[in-house]
Amino acid sequence: MAMNVLVMLSGTASASAVAAQAVPVREVFSFRSMATVKSMKTTHCMVLNGKSRVGFVVDSGLSMMSSLTKGVMHAVDAVRSLEAETHDDAVESGSKPIHPVVGGGRPELFVGLPLDTVSNGKTVNHVKAISAGLKALKLLGVDGVDVPVWWGVVEKENRGEYDWTSYLELAQMIQDAGLKIHVSLYFHASKFPGIPLPTWVSSIGDSDANIYFADKQGNRNKECLSFGVDNLPVLAGKTPLQVYGDFCKNFQTTFAAFMSNNTITDVSIGLGPGGELRYPSMPAKKTEGGGVGEFQCYDKHMLNQLQKNADECGNHYWGFCGPHDAPRYDESPDAGNFFKDNGGSWETPYGDFFLTWYSNQLLSHGERLLSMASSVFGSSPVTLSGKIPVAHTWYKTRAHSSEQTAGYHNTDKRDGYDAVADIFGRNSCRMILSGMEVAHDTQQALLDQIKKACQKHNVCVAGENSSISGEFTKIKDNISESSKVVSFTYQRMGATFFSPENWPRFTEFVRSIRQPELHSDDVATGGEGSIALRTTVLADNSSNRQMQSA
């Protein structure tokens, strides 16, 4: 497939002064199939300072290929031209190039790498495409990237045997690109991109299914370990908490150099399914139905804790099981008596007992993991963070059913997030909230409630988007200076991210966040050009794709 880049240089913004030269670009992608080819033409313009413009036109055929490779095609050709041109122009004019600047109230901006960037201990996947993508992000002015680190990849075969080879290579790539790293340590499995729990853990689960959560029907969720086994020696003589701690300690030792030179600046601790502090109340395959989810307290160890708590309260029969009248996964609150707004059993003494116990088990789990992480990384120059869900589906009902099944005892009369924020505050952890792009009023109301709790307990908030969205206005509102959001991570790099449909909006979003902090030499005056990071799409036949979800 032939590909050409038209490079245009000018001393002013005047189009008549442009000199053009066609430059061939060496192909860096491996194509899986040439069966379906779609033609497209895209014009990109970038002004790096007031005196120099670099533009390019990419005219290519798009074939069937890996999603990330196809996506990066829309930006990669600009990188090579821009690298040389940015350096030459800065030397010639003496002006300062644009660099990321943190301060003045604006949040740091990060982009998540694909979840399958590392899927085994020896290889970095999509290495050429990711390398090109890192260069594009650096030139754009993004501060860094978020790197997913999987327990099931690093400690795959045997307890205590860690293979960081691929992650060390990746960290060096990112450092060489001049970007910072947020690391997300994931102690759960993910069906996409097919990252399981460690093999040795799954083997234990094959003989003892009670290490996993279970619902009322006895269905096991093997995405993560039950909170009921946190302090039980079920993993070859060690507790899950000890195993998580050993993993974090080994990471801290292995990547100490990247922390000390401020390449790795943030470590996020996986707290449950999807990395979030929650129960797996709504399996991924059922998330589109808008149901309330189901309580996950039916494994042997959770039921033992429930019975113990019931006996301590003097109501032995309350410990036999969870609510018998709660709805199923995809059902509405009115499908059973438990969550009904009027007369629901959630308001009875039993209902309050169960919901309080269920939530406290989640809070205790979060306290244990964040306390462990604080102990391990306390002497390292990194910020700790953890993520909680924004389960807004039934937020405007009195019982807040989808929040309750996820483990948050939040009602019209009870703040279920105050205690969570208190735990984060006491362990000096940032709280990551997703859904910053959603314009739904119920989600915004829940975000505001959580932010208020964080402000009360002096907890910094970091934001993420929950899906690829071309509308960045809501994100800008949610991460504005008045919102006190200290960083934002756009999830995540892939085909849709670099597509001519999304990339122009993302570049404009970054420009709008960063522009107030640009050096005076970068600001055009007297009609000599203007700072712009924009992309004009002349024709686009790209298909949209859903973002990856951890």
- Report the catalytic residues: 276, 464
* 3-class secondary structure, 217: coil
Q: What's the Rg (C-alpha) of the chain? A: 25
CB 424 within 8 A of CB 454: yes
Rounded-to-10 torsion of CA 516, 521, 525, 530: -60
Residue 285: CB partners within 8 Å, gap ≥ 6? none
Rounded alpha-carbon distances, angstroms, from residue 184 to 38, 124, 264, 374, 398: 36, 16, 11, 15, 34
Helices (H), 148-216: 151-154, 165-176, 199-207
d(CA 414, CA 22): 65
Question: How far does CA 273 lie from the centroid of its chain?
Answer: 13
Residue 177: CB partners within 8 Å, gap ≥ 6? 131, 134, 135, 137, 138
CB 322 within 8 A of CB 369: no
Q: One-letter amino acid identity for 161? A: E
d(CA 425, CA 442): 25
Q: Where are the beta strands (DSSP E) in 105-252?
A: 108-112, 144-150, 180-186, 212-214, 220-225
SS3 sequence of 428-457: CEEEEECCCCCCCHHHHHHHHHHHHHHHHC
d(CA 134, CA 117): 13
Strand 532-539 relative to strand 33-49, pairing: antiparallel
d(CA 195, CA 183): 17
* 3-class secondary structure, 261: coil
d(CA 447, CA 452): 9
Q: For residue 372, which of 154, 150, 185 has the smallest C-alpha distance?
A: 185
Give the DSSP per-residue string, 290-307. ---------SHHHHHHHH
Residue 74: CB partners within 8 Å, gap ≥ 6? 42, 58, 498, 499, 500, 503
Element of type H or E holding 460: none
d(CA 352, CA 281): 19
Q: One-letter amino acid identity for 279? A: Y
